[in-house]
């Protein structure tokens, strides 16, 4: 069992905030957890894999699936939401695996990532790998194809994330860990029925106009304009479109977390 | 009762998408509703007020409160979630009032607004007023003060929202309906214990670095830098900070919906 493997000593999860260690208490507001009210090392110290996705129902189902796969004692149906005191996110822990929801869009997952990274830091976790398992729209692929993200790109197909810090725009890289992506591709090749590619993931800030959908409340472009944009995206290496990858990649990189996105083609564009 | 007032004939909720009326079926994916599977005019045609907020628990509690205030028949505890087939948003209808959650951040509320505006359009609703009732951080105000938003401003304190449409940045105005804001201010002056101001609302795309918090996983600025930014914001007319106002204001304006944000000072910055 993964949780019984020895801690290797390398790669403790890093925060990049000099104030944190001087604070008397750190409250993870949106998780309803805190360093004074909860023993975070005891609760979370053995975590090795964090799997996140938008939908709370799906992340509960994923926790139950992992419970069965790892042959954990007890009833998988009875996994309990560690964040049940709040409705912002849900969180399930199954052995060394944490399964969490993050809602939809960059701001929503950004709040979750700040508090998750602080949680892993306070819990003294080491060698954690972070995965986003979500829905996405495929670009030029057969339906059902799984895309493992190489890098997250913005609407101009650049591997960057623009973060506003106190009114100033800071540009951060969104290149992800190659090793993790390659390992996942290797795993998929050993399985039947999981056509998998490594590609760039376009991160948009809305579902309709940014992704070229013709069925939003607002639409000012033609079907041809849409196809032209998707063609350009494909030529730039984009294989799928979703709404969280850019800040996920940027924060993994800054905090020394290995991570990637594994998103099946699940939406028609 | 508001639902019994005659329909005035003006101001049907508008979509700005020439394709919509030619579609055989419109599926509101994130609500689990559709024009073929649901009779939207029958279900929603009498709606006059839509109240939205981030948290699903809070919007359920708000629906129960409205149920009591309007002295509706039946048990307020039994209001049922119209979107229960999905966990993306929750939706409660109490007479002419719709109470909905929108999650956190611009992308999340943007998806909800696209589908809400289409829903109101398909249901042939008229004279709808839209309110966001959410949490926010106050700027230079006493805790508890309610801020009614005049306009939503971006990190540079400009009343604009940048929407990416097929890879191009389109700038939209975020000025809100003055009449609604003034009526609300008038209402508040008739009540005890609701100190209320009209002011600009700063919309950020994250909770930590964008709002100057010193307790995120990442923090690259000092306490003085933070105070300096908040001082500049106050001078520019900002009275509170939250994460949804810009797209809310922009979409209300484009679709001819009267709306505003009524956010109490609920978070320390």
Query: pLDDT tens for residues B164-193?
Result: 999 999 999 999 989 999 999 999 999 888
Q: What is the pLDDT of residue B9?
A: 46
Please give the annotated binding residues of B for substrate, written as ranges: 211, 213
**What sign does the dihedral A151-A155-A157-A162 (CA atoms) show?**
negative
Per-residue pLDDT, averaged over A8-29, amounts to: 87
Q: Which has more pLDDT, B63 or B177?
A: B63
Give the closest of A20, A215, A232 to B20, CB-based. A215
Query: In terms of CA atoms, which chain A residue is nearest residue B224?
Result: A166
Per-residue pLDDT, averaged over B200-227, amounts to: 96
Question: Residue B151, Cα to own-chain centre: how many angstroms?
Answer: 13
Interface test with A, best of B158, B166, B222, B236 (most A CBs within 10 A): B166
Q: What is the pLDDT of residue B4?
A: 33
Q: Cα torsion at B197, B200, B206, B209 (round to 10°)?
A: -90
Tell me the two tokens of residue B43. 């279900």
Say how far apart CA A185 and CA B110 lie, in whole Å: 34
Phi, psi of A178 (to 5 degrees): -70, -35
Least confident of A174-178, A210-214, B189-193, B241-245: B189-193
Please give the annotated binding residues of A for substrate, written as ranges: 211, 213
Q: Are A250 and A113 in contact (CB under 8 A)?
A: no
How many CB atoms sit inside 10 A of residue B100's CB? 26
Residue B221 touches chain A, beta carbons under 8 Å: yes
Which residues of chain A make contact with B229, given a CB cutoff of 8 A? Answer: 166-167
Q: What is the pLDDT of residue B171?
A: 97
For residue A109, pLDDT over 50 is answered with: yes
Give the closest of B19, B121, B254 to A214, CB-based. B19
Least confident of A97-101, A141-145, B228-232: A141-145
Residue A219 touches chain B, beta carbons under 8 Å: yes
ipTM: 0.94
Say how far apart CA B149 and CA B133 lie, in whole Å: 11
For residue A2, pLDDT over 70 is answered with: no
Per-residue pLDDT, averaged over A218-246, amounts to: 97
Q: What is the pLDDT of residue B194?
A: 87
Q: What is the pLDDT of residues A77-104, one digit of tens each?
A: 999 999 999 999 999 999 999 999 999 9
Residue A234 touches chain B, beta carbons under 8 Å: no
Q: What is the pLDDT of residue B27?
A: 97
CA dist A84 → A30, B33, B133, B246 (Å) = 11, 27, 23, 30
> Residues A9-28, buried b or exposed e (16+ Cβ, 10 A)?
eeeebebebeebeeeeebbb
Residue A111 touches chain B, beta carbons under 8 Å: yes
Per-residue pLDDT, averaged over B235-261, amounts to: 96
Per-residue pLDDT, averaged over A36-50, amounts to: 98
Counting every residue, how long is chain B? 269
In chain A, the percentage of residues whose pLDDT exceeds 90 is: 88
For residue B56, pLDDT over 90 is answered with: yes
Least confident of A6-15, A215-224, B138-147, B164-173: A6-15
Tell me the two tokens of residue A1. 């069992």
**Cβ–Cβ of A218/B114 closer than 8 Å?**
yes
**Cβ–Cβ of B205/A164 closer than 8 Å?**
yes
Q: Which residues 134-193 of A are in CB contact (within 8 Å) with B?
A: 155-156, 163-167, 169
Residue A202 touches chain B, beta carbons under 8 Å: no
Please give the annotated binding residues of B, written as ranges: 88, 132-135, 211, 213
B36: Cβ contacts below 8 Å, ≥ 6 apart: B24, B25
Phi, psi of B66 (to 5 degrees): -65, -40
For residue B134, pLDDT over 80 is answered with: yes
Which residues of chain A make contact with B27, given a CB cutoff of 8 A? Answer: 215
Per-residue pLDDT, averaged over A129-145, amounts to: 92
Q: What is the distance in angstroms between the Cα of B102 and the nearest Cα belonging to chain A? A: 10
Per-residue pLDDT, averaged over A143-171, amounts to: 96
Q: What is the pLDDT of residue A194?
A: 87
The per-residue DSSP string of A20-53 comes to GGG-S--EEGGGTEETTTS-HHHHHTT--EEEEE
Phi, psi of B30 (to 5 degrees): -85, 0
Largest CA distance in chain B: 57
How many CB atoms sit inside 10 A of residue A8's CB? 8
Residue B196 belongs to what H/E stretch?
Answer: strand B196-203
Q: Are A269 and A136 in contact (CB under 8 A)?
A: no
pLDDT band at residue B268 using 50, 70 and 90 as cut-offs = low
Per-residue pLDDT, averaged over A177-191, amounts to: 92
Please give the annotated binding residues of A for phosphate, written as ranges: 88, 132-135
**Cβ–Cβ of A107/B205 closer than 8 Å?**
yes
Per-residue pLDDT, averaged over B51-67, amounts to: 97
């Amino acid at each position: 069992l993964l949780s019984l493997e020895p801690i290797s000593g390398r790669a403790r999860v890093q925060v990049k905030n000099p104030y944190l260690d001087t604070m008397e208490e750190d409250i993870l507001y949106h998780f309803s957890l805190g360093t004074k009210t909860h023993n975070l090392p005891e609760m979370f110290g053995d975590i090795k894999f964090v799997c996140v996705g938008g939908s709370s129902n799906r992340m509960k189902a994923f926790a139950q699936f992992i419970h069965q796969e790892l042959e954990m004692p007890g009833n998988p149906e009875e996994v309990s939401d560690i964040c049940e005191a709040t409705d912002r996110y849900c969180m399930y822990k199954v052995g060394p695996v944490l399964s969490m929801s993050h809602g939809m869009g960059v701001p929503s997952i950004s709040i979750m990532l700040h508090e998750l990274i602080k949680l892993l830091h306070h819990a003294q976790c080491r060698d954690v790998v972070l995965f986003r398992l979500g829905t996405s729209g495929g670009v030029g692929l057969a339906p059902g194809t799984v895309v493992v993200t190489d890098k997250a790109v913005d609407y101009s197909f650049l591997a960057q994330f623009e973060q506003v810090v106190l009114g100033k725009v800071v540009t951060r890289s969104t290149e992800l860990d190659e090793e993790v992506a390659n390992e996942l591709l290797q795993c998929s090749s050993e399985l039947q029925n999981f056509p998998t590619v490594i590609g760039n993931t376009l991160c948009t800030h809305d579902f309709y106009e940014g992704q070229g959908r013709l069925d939003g409340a607002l639409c000012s472009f033609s079907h041809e304009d849409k196809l032209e944009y998707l063609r350009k995206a494909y030529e730039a290496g984009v294989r799928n479109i979703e709404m969280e990858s850019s800040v996920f990649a940027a924060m993994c990189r800054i905090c020394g977390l290995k991570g990637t996105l594994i998103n099946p083609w699940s939406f028609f564009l």
